[in-house]
Amino acid sequence: MTHDFFKDLKPIQYEGPDSNSSLAFRHYNPDEIILGKRLEEHLRFAVAYWHSFAWEGGDPFGGLTFERPWHPQDNIKNAYLKADVAFDMFSILGQPYFCFHDADVRPDQGNFPDNLATLNEITDYFLDKMKNQKTKLLWGTANMFSHRRWMAGASTNPDPDIFAFAAATVKSCMDVTQKLGGENYVLWGGREGYETLLNTDLEKELDQMGRFLSMVVDYKHKIGFPGMILVEPKPQEPSKHQYDFDVATCIGFLRKYNLENDVKINIEQGHAILAGHSFEHEIALAVSEGMLGSIDMNRNDYQSGWDTDQFPNNTPEVALAYYHIIKGGGFQTGGTNFDAKLRRQSIDAEDLIAAHVGAMDVFDSLRRRRVFGEGERFRRRRTRTFDQRYHGSDEENVRYDERKLVRGANHELASGVCTNDEFSFDGGVEESGERVFVERV
């Protein structure tokens, strides 16, 4: 330990399901082999620097509650102290990854050159620490929503100077992500959206966003960044309407601007809930389109309607999320980031550890083979009839399938269930050996 913030807390150990300690793993054993792989390698847990160390406990009704020794966060000395405590926590938890924004790790000095200098300085300090412990960088990102300069967006801002500032900011964050060996770079469209269409040219702003993301991809190739570029959907908050609404919207956007081969998606459970989806819907859709990158495993309260960023504690939801991730081949460069914050009354240092330990323990769900075994059998059974009849892809199979389709259709007609119109794709009715009224064009 480099600081006494966590006092004499020892690294968290796996003690098994009978343990009564909130500072021990009861279910998460990183070395356990499940489906042929160590649990740690399946799950790839990451701690989020911002909620754990930069967030001060404020909400829309009140400010700081945590009173950490690295407050106020407006000078480089406290940024070093914060880094010491963060890496102490990483060694206590033993999780393999962390994630950060530029604004989490350096003080904000209000101008680009000074912010860049302190970002480079503090990430050099990270690099030294990472040589001595196993924690790696899952992804880096830029905070382009907190400072007042971003009030009207970053890449979609109507002021070209802000667009340029955003481009320089992302470049600097990609540079430090690469320096630290980051495995992904994430863009969450904080204020890329609008409050009212009466003052917003939606088409133009989407083109600006597409142009910006193309520049990000070009820069990735220019510097040879081996990681994946990810965008993160969210339907609203802070904007009334965010352009990256959900997974389907992001896929459409990426395809429109020819970015789908270079950019994948980071899916957050809380954002899925805000969009009116379940987490597993968003994951399954991304998997089916080959677009899953990584996940933020933090949930919302279903009654509040806010993005409450709570640690996961719902085993069935987590089990279903992982069912689709594993079925899709598991994470490649992605992982499980806890973009989750304590409740603002949880002011003890130990609470930070206990919250992460509890969240990691929810992944007991991976052990639930019923989800992987019976779930898959149910799914296959439901589509079996269709798969058996209409499996054909060559011309012969298609013709064979059509005859079956026609027989089926005639049967329905005979029973009076369907009308000719409903089955007549091209309006043609033909009498031959068999009645055929579906013709291939």
Contact 313, 306 (CB under 8 A): no
Nearest CB to Mn ion, comparing residues 104 and 307: 307
Looking at residue 363, the DSSP 8-state letter turns out to be G
As a three-state string, the secondary structure of 266-331 is: EEEHHHHHHCCCCHHHHHHHHHHCCCEEEEECCECCCCCCCCCCECCCCHHHHHHHHHHHHHCCCC
Instruction: Give the nearest distance from C-beta 21 to Mn ion in angstroms.
Output: 29
Q: Is 3 helix (H, G, I), strand (E, B) or coil?
A: coil
Instruction: Look up 101 and say whether it is catalytic.
Output: yes
Instruction: Give the nearest distance from C-beta 267 to Mn ion in angstroms.
Output: 11
Q: Burial of 19 by CB count in 10 Å (0-12 exposed, 13-18 middle, 19+ buried)?
A: middle
Tokens read off for 361: 């323990």
The residue type found at 81 is: L
Active-site position among 27, 42, 51, 101: 101
Cβ neighbours, 10 Å, residue 135: 22
Instruction: Give the nearest distance from C-beta 305 to Mn ion in angstroms.
Output: 13
b/e sequence 94-124, b meaning 16+ C-beta within 10 Å: bbbbbbbbbbbbbbeeeeeeebbebbeebbe
Contact positions vs Mn ion (CB under 5 A):
270, 307, 309
Closest CA to 142 of 197, 219, 76, 70: 219
Nearest CB to Mn ion, comparing residues 244 and 307: 307
Instruction: Give the nearest distance from C-beta 343 to Mn ion in angstroms.
Output: 15
Cβ neighbours, 10 Å, residue 317: 19
Task: Examine residue 96 and say whether the peptide bond preceding it is cis (omega within 30 degrees of 0).
Answer: no
Nearest CB to Mn ion, comparing residues 309 and 361: 309
Nearest CB to Mn ion, comparing residues 183 and 232: 232
Integer Cα distance of 319 and 373 in angstroms = 13
Nearest CB to Mn ion, comparing residues 271 and 324: 271
Instruction: Give the nearest distance from C-beta 234 to Mn ion in angstroms.
Output: 7
Instruction: Give the nearest distance from C-beta 299 to Mn ion in angstroms.
Output: 9
Helix residue ranges per DSSP H, 184-231: 202-223
Active-site position among 84, 88, 102, 104: 104
Nearest CB to Mn ion, comparing residues 153 and 270: 270
Nearest CB to Mn ion, comparing residues 183 and 307: 307
Integer Cα distance of 128 and 121 in angstroms = 11
| CB contact set of 262 (below 8 Å; sequence gap of 6+) | 217, 220, 229
Integer Cα distance of 27 and 13 in angstroms = 11
Nearest CB to Mn ion, comparing residues 119 and 340: 340
Instruction: Give the nearest distance from C-beta 295 to Mn ion in angstroms.
Output: 12
Instruction: Give the nearest distance from C-beta 54 to Mn ion in angstroms.
Output: 15
Instruction: Look up 104 and say whether it is catalytic.
Output: yes
| Chain centroid to CA 237 | 16
Active-site residues: which are they? 101, 104
